[in-house]
Chains A and B, each alone.
Chain A
């Protein structure tokens, strides 16, 4: 654009770091909005402390998502125009929102983030309140598809497939990773129950989460393969010796580590919980630690995803 200041190399590195950091925190908070709310639609509602803790988490996640969403938008504008000094330029904003195909998408995203904050400010904590967060979170995840690579497929069948694959991938990932915080809250609340009740209820909660997670992982795998194929187009060698390939493999390793922990939780820790009565407290503590580690790995996966999105794929 005429009259625009173009960034130095140092400023471009700063813009890159702002983009990655904003995207990482934003993805994490949106995953919470969707996945943590969704948790209470396939779990038993008779766990008031865990439900209350989830509500507090959602109230924190909504403004964080809004703030970092603005940061992401500012990073996009700075990257497009060559510097942060151009971000609040009225002409830049006019061109962005009214003369680009992603302007309307970004505007809708801002509206959804505003709605998330409004819902968080409401005093109710009933099913409708959780449902509102779930739906806003889902729409935010789907909206992302039109702000990235999935949008380049165009209006034809390929474009539709790319959008659908992306949406399935992020919704499934949001359900899996976003469901881990309330799962931890539940395990913590169950610790305070009578000993004879804890194993059965823990098993019930974990079983329901596992069913959801198995379905989510299967969808993540299928959609992930499709997304990868859209990039490498039958030439996986293209991933070698590129920054994109390094980040992608890092992400994949983290996901595999998460799967290993999930497998441990479901097929090792859970059966032990029922079998060995006198070591029950120890087994429950191990289970909580494992779920917490799975959550940490999930957050690191989102960091890799945030980095992947601003790294040029192989040409």
Chain B
């Protein structure tokens, strides 16, 4: 009877079981913020993710509303905040809407990507 109880308990526990599932890094917040309007051209993008990321395989591209590419630097990560990606913007941004296309690889090897917009006010 005791062994039957063990089996039932084990079965119930296994119903809650999971392997060590592999997480993905999603965008938590950014600066300039997603959908925001800023005064003056930002010097860099700062993207904070839900997991730590690998800078060697991460990055972001910036494009104007007309589709023109804006020069951007390589992704970098502070050792103290390995979930925050910094991307320097290669030139001053004129007033207008800009599209950021980001891609990151989290420390468990999974890649995620996304886009968002922000506006530079005149």
Contacts and interface: CB of A to CB of B under 8 A. Distances in A.
Interface of A: 1-2, 6, 76, 79-82, 95-96, 99-102, 145, 147-152, 154, 162, 165-166, 169-170, 214, 217-218, 220-222, 224-225, 227-228, 230-231, 244, 248, 251-253, 255-256, 259-260, 263, 267, 305, 308-313, 315
Contacts of A102: 107-109
A169 B10 contact: no
Given A218-B10, A263-B7, A252 B15 contact: yes
B108 A248 contact: no
Contacts of B43: none
Given A169-B19, A221-B13, A100 B6 contact: no
Q: Which 6 A-B pairs have the closest CB atoms?
A: A224-B17, A221-B13, A166-B20, A150-B20, A95-B56, A228-B18
A225 B111 contact: no
Contact of B21 (A227, A253, A260, A267): A227
Given A256-B11, A310-B22, A310-B110, A221 B17 contact: yes
Given A227-B19, A255-B17, A256-B14, A101 B7 contact: no
A30 to B, nearest CB: 14
B6, B7, B13 pick with most chain A CB within 10 angstroms: B13
A224 B15 CA distance: 9
Contacts of A305: 19
Contacts, number: 142
A6 B113 CA distance: 11
B23 interface: yes
Nearest to B59: A1
Contact of A231 (B3, B9, B18): B18
Interface in B1-43: 3-4, 6-7, 9-11, 13-24, 26
B111 A80 contact: yes
28 contacts: A1-B59, A2-B59, A79-B111, A80-B109, A96-B57, A102-B109, A148-B21, A149-B23, A169-B20, A218-B10, A221-B14, A222-B13, A224-B13, A225-B16, A227-B17, A227-B19, A228-B17, A244-B21, A252-B15, A253-B15, A256-B14, A259-B14, A267-B3, A267-B4, A308-B18, A310-B110, A312-B112, A315-B50
B52 interface: yes
B14 A255 contact: yes
B106 A252 contact: no
Contacts of B15: 252-253, 256
A81, A152, A169, A222 pick with most chain B CB within 10 angstroms: A152
Contact of B108 (A95, A148, A244): A148
Interface string B103-122: 10111111110000000000
Contacts of A259: 7, 10-11, 14
A165 B7 CA distance: 21
A178 B56 CA distance: 37
A259 B7 CA distance: 8
Nearest to B83: A152
Contacts of B22: 148-149, 309-310, 313
A309 to B, nearest CB: 5
Contacts of A225: 13, 16-17
A267 B3 CA distance: 10
Nearest to B50: A315
Contacts of A255: 14, 17
A6 B61 CA distance: 13
Interface in B40-91: 50-52, 54, 56-57, 59, 74
